[in-house]
């Protein structure tokens, strides 16, 4: 179990560049415009805004467009300047932005879902628009004709979606904690596999096509790195948040993972290290160190005339142990435990100071984050919070 206190923030930290305020409701999604000092935001207050930085250093809306209902999500493609906005009503509205980002023209409307659109993703290479909704449907449309090409029914409503162009695999994370991999064709799809490692909802997905690794974040506070390309079923846990993980971004050029959670923490993970899988917890009726019976082992309790003990597990070896044999705590960063966790006494003795060297840095955004976007070309990070404020950060001091 993770400790309740976070490690102290590091000396090198993200630099706050700007704040964008003035929203009446929470900004559900916002993105940084590459090669422009600009931001696009959509919010529950039914507005789409394009913000450009003026000579004064302040961001002012060059486009302010009111929609008929709340905007739940969006996808922006900078190459085509195509903006796809998911709506509370289930439809997806598409717009074309002018080259100077001062004008937005309606293009297509997709009647995609029967409920709120949860994720929308435009894939330029395929000319596909992928989307998921609270109606538990995953759909993909032709972005040229607007025609629906296919649909897949999910076990629960989807909160995370990624796509690999090379293999045409869609990664779908849902509220049951499951991640499903689908192979998409032009008008059909097939189930490749499903995997589940989270005890809470999947709240965020991030795909790295170079290393062929999928990261999933969850309401259970954890992140799992699924090694898809390795084909060995390797899954590495990362424990560095005390609240629900709200966003994941991967900086492939530095092999660093950026994660954020609802308590406002931003964590930078060094993924350029050899990490270890956490062991499976072993089952036993007695402590695997001192052999004292656990409290449900009535026969051994009676035979040995001893009181049954509570069962714990060592996070390093996975053995079932009693409290006396696991009185020590330690960080195990290479196993993903940046907080101190329970370890058995023998494992504690084997952990060196080098083993305890942190592989992540922790930073406080000072607002409760609901969404995050990283732009690698500028090294800038955007966070949107429950305080109805968007913050822009220079991440180059910590992502380098």
> Looking at residue 169, what is its pLDDT?
96
Domains of the chain: residue spans and CATH: 15-278+358-394 (2.130.10.10), 298-356 (3.30.40.10)
Work out the average pLDDT over 199-222: 95
| Burial grade of 91 (CB within 10 A; 0-12, 13-18, 19 or more) | middle
Q: Residue 309 pLDDT > 80, yes or no?
A: no
* CA–CA dist 242, 231 (Å, integer): 31
* Each residue's pLDDT tens digit, 278-287: 888 888 888 8
- Confidence tier at 259 by pLDDT (50, 70, 90): very high
Mean pLDDT (the chain) is: 91
Q: How far apart are CA 278 and CA 280, in angstroms?
A: 7
pLDDT of residue 389: 96
Reported as a single tens digit per residue, the pLDDT across 163-173 is: 999 999 999 99
pLDDT tens-digit profile of 207-217?
A: 999 989 999 99
Q: pLDDT by residue (tens digit) across 360-398? A: 999 999 999 999 999 999 999 999 999 999 999 999 998
- Give the model's confidence band at 12: pLDDT under 50 very low, under 70 low, under 90 confident, else very high: confident
pLDDT at residue number 9: 46
- In the predicted model, is pLDDT for residue 26 greater than 60? yes
Chain segment 101-154, per-residue pLDDT in tens: 999 999 999 999 999 999 999 999 999 999 999 999 999 999 999 999 999 999
The answer to whether residue 305 scores a pLDDT higher than 80 is: no
- For the segment 325-346, the average pLDDT, to the nearest whole number, is 91
pTM reported for the whole predicted model: 0.87
Kindly report the backbone phi and psi dihedral angles of residue 98, in degrees, each rounded to the nearest multiple of 5, phi listed first.
-70, 165
The residue ranking higher by pLDDT, 310 or 385, is 385
Q: Encode 112-131: b = buried (16+ Cβ within 10 Å), e = exposed.
A: bbeebbbbbbbbeebebbbb
pLDDT of residue 294 exceeding 90, the answer is: no
Closest CA to 30 of 362, 393, 361: 393
For position 301, what pLDDT does the model report? 63
Which tens digit of pLDDT belongs to each residue from 49-104? 999 999 888 999 999 999 999 999 999 999 999 999 999 999 999 999 999 999 99
Mean pLDDT of 204-209: 96
Percent of the chain with pLDDT over 90: 75
Choose among 222, 244, 204: nearest CA to 336.
222
Cβ neighbours for 195, distance < 8 A, ≥ 6 positions apart: 178, 179, 226, 235
């Amino acid at each position: 179990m993770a400790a309740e206190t976070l490690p102290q923030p590091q000396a090198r930290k993200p630099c706050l560049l700007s704040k964008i305020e003035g929203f009446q409701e929470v900004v559900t999604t916002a993105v940084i415009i590459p090669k422009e000092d600009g931001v696009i935001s959509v919010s529950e207050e039914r507005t789409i805004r394009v913000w450009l930085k003026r000579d004064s250093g302040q961001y002012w809306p060059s486009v302010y467009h009111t929609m008929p209902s709340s905007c739940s999500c969006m996808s922006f493609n900078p190459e085509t300047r195509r903006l796809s906005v998911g709506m509370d009503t289930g439809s997806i509205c598409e717009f074309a932005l002018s080259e100077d980002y001062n004008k937005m023209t309606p293009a297509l409307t997709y009647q995609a879902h029967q409920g709120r659109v949860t994720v929308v993703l435009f894939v330029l290479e395929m000319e596909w628009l992928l989307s998921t909704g609270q109606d538990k449907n995953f759909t993909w449309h032709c972005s040229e004709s607007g025609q629906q090409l296919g649909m897949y029914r999910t076990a629960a409503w989807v909160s995370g979606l990624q796509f690999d162009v090379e293999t045409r695999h869609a990664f779908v994370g849902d509220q049951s904690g499951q991640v499903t991999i689908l192979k998409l064709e032009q008008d059909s799809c097939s189930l490749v596999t499903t995997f589940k490692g989270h005890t809470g909802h999947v709240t965020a997905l991030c795909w790295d096509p170079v290393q062929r690794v999928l990261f999933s974040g969850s309401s259970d506070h954890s992140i799992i790195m699924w090694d898809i390309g390795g084909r060995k079923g390797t899954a590495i846990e990362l424990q560095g948040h005390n609240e629900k993980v709200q966003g994941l971004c991967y900086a492939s050029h530095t092999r660093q993972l950026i994660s954020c959670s609802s308590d406002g923490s931003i964590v930078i993970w060094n993924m350029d290290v050899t990490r270890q899988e956490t062991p499976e917890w072993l089952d036993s009726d007695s402590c695997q160190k001192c052999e004292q019976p656990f409290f449900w082992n009535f026969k051994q309790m009676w035979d040995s005339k001893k009181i049954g003990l509570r069962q714990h597990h060592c996070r390093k070896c996975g053995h079932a142990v009693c409290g006396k044999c696991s009185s020590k705590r330690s960080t195990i960063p290479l196993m993903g435990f940046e907080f101190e966790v329970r370890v058995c006494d023998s494992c504690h003795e084997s952990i060196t100071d080098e083993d305890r060297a942190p592989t992540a840095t922790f930073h406080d955004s000072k607002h409760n984050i609901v969404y995050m976007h990283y732009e690698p070309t500028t090294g800038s990070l955007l966070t949107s919070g429950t305080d109805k404020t968007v913050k822009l950060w220079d991440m180059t001091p910590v992502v380098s």
